[in-house]
Structure 1
Amino acid sequence: MKKTALLTITAALLLLSCNSNSQTNTHTNKTQSSKEPVAVAPVNGLERAYFASGCFWCVEAIYESVKGVKEVISGYAGGHTENPTYESSNTGRTGHAEAVEVYYDPNIISFASLVDVYFGSQNPTQVNGQGPDRGSQYRSLIFYQNEAQKQIIEKKKKALAEKLDAPIAAEIVPFEKFWKAEGYHQDYEKRNPNNPYIRNVSIPRLLKFQKKFPELLKKNH
């Protein structure tokens, strides 16, 4: 009976994971943090920002609901290999984390507010993952493209650490390159509302964020 119960619990945990093959390898960015950030050019007046905070299905849905955000792309960033894939990044050996590229109108929402969304939509003290997703590919990374952005992030991270009286897990790293994920990952939450992970992890995380920041939401959310 105990063995059967254990198998049932294990299966449930695997089901409610962004990827059941997730690894628990740790990863550090000591070398990366010394590199110069790459600044990306605006596209049709839209700035771009990059964040990693657990499963990109969840993070994409969160930022898509924010006013001033025009598009969010799921992908990979923060690693050391070229052309990462979902399968390779989820081994934990490429160094990449699941990340999002956020296209936003700076006349409607600021980079600072996007950082507030970032910290306010996750468990900021969870190391090497978010919720049921564990491993270096789910670690929290927040990317800066210039010194002004870095200072904004550092200030907000410090204030949050003082408020919670706890260390904040997110690593602050210079942006280098974003790799777009496979097509089936894009708008995953919208296209797969009945997926068990989406119903039990993504949507509750989205609703929790929306309740916390109603003033930042688009009118149709």
Structure 2
Amino acid sequence: MKIMLQKLMPLALALLTISCHSKPKNDKMAETVVSKTEETKTEKQKKDLSQFETAYFASGCFWCVEAIYESVEGVEEVISGYSGGKEKNPTYKQVSYGKTTHAEAVEVYYDPKVVSFETLVTVFFGSHDPTTLNRQGPDRGAQYRSIAFYKNDSEKQIIEAFIKGLEEAEVYPSKIVTQVKRFKKFYKAEDYHQDYEKLNPGNRYVQQVSVPRLNRFKERFPQLLKKEAH
């Protein structure tokens, strides 16, 4: 625990004129995105995830968070979506423009024999700045707030103990504003958001925000990575 805490440092992204929004620039590009998205959708539909546990986190743009968790050993699949709010069946347009009480979130399918929930919490705090209220990097608004969801009392205790450890170790100069919320409902995002970083390497946001954020995480926690992620 102490080793992990020592590796956690505040993350600071320069304010950019880009954000977690994207549209294909032309019809040809749009066709390519749709084609790749359909392939990814088919691959994910073939997977049997019933044997895995699930965990839910929100820490900014879900394109970034999905890529980070997919690099972790023991994680089988990560789905981008929306959670933490009260509206039913929210859309990306509604959430991304702050028209709902939901946050962009991820659903993590993991093997508890390989990676523990506490390690997933370590990944959560080690890959974003939990002290910025309703903001992560260039993305602003409650839809990008920091939330660690729990499904039972054990998970809640793990999250709260981790936060307490960070505060006692004074890892961050500012107060941690992460919400600790009981998980209620997760809504899967539109298909084109799934594996977005991997399928859209030329996207400006991906190049300037998502990939650097993923690489910083990899540098801090090489021991948590899948072999192919090194």
What SS is found at the alignment partner of 1:74?
Answer: strand
1:11-26 superposed matches below 5 A = 13-14=16-17, 16-19=18-21
The match for 1:186 among 173, 179, 194 is 194
What SS is found at the alignment partner of 1:44?
Answer: coil
Distance 1:43 1:218 in 2: 18
Q: Please name the residue that 1:202 is paired with.
A: 210
Distance 2:135 2:91 in 1: 19
1:84-99 superposed matches below 5 A = 84-99=90-105
Distance 1:54 1:165 in 2: 20
The match for 2:62 among 56, 61, 70 is 56
Note the alpha carbon deviations across 1:102-155, whole angstroms, 9 max, x for none. 000000000000000000000121110210000010001110000000000001
Amino acid aligned to 2:96: N
Contact map agreement 1:19 1:133 (CA 8 A) in 2: no
Q: Please name the residue that 2:227 is paired with.
A: 219
1:38-53 superposed matches below 5 A = 43-53=49-59
Q: Please name the residue that 1:31 is paired with.
A: none
Q: Identity over aligned residues, as a percent?
A: 60
The aligned length equals 188
Runs of at least 5 residues in structure 1 that lack an aligned partner in the other structure: 1-11, 21-41
Runs of at least 5 residues in structure 2 that lack an aligned partner in the other structure: 1-14, 23-47
Note the alpha carbon deviations across 1:16-38, whole angstroms, 9 max, x for none. 21038xxxxxxxxxxxxxxxxxx
What SS is found at the alignment partner of 2:217?
Answer: helix
Amino acid aligned to 1:17: S
Tell me the TM-score normalised to structure 2 length. Answer: 0.79
Q: Please name the residue that 1:101 is paired with.
A: 107
Distance 1:191 1:92 in 2: 26
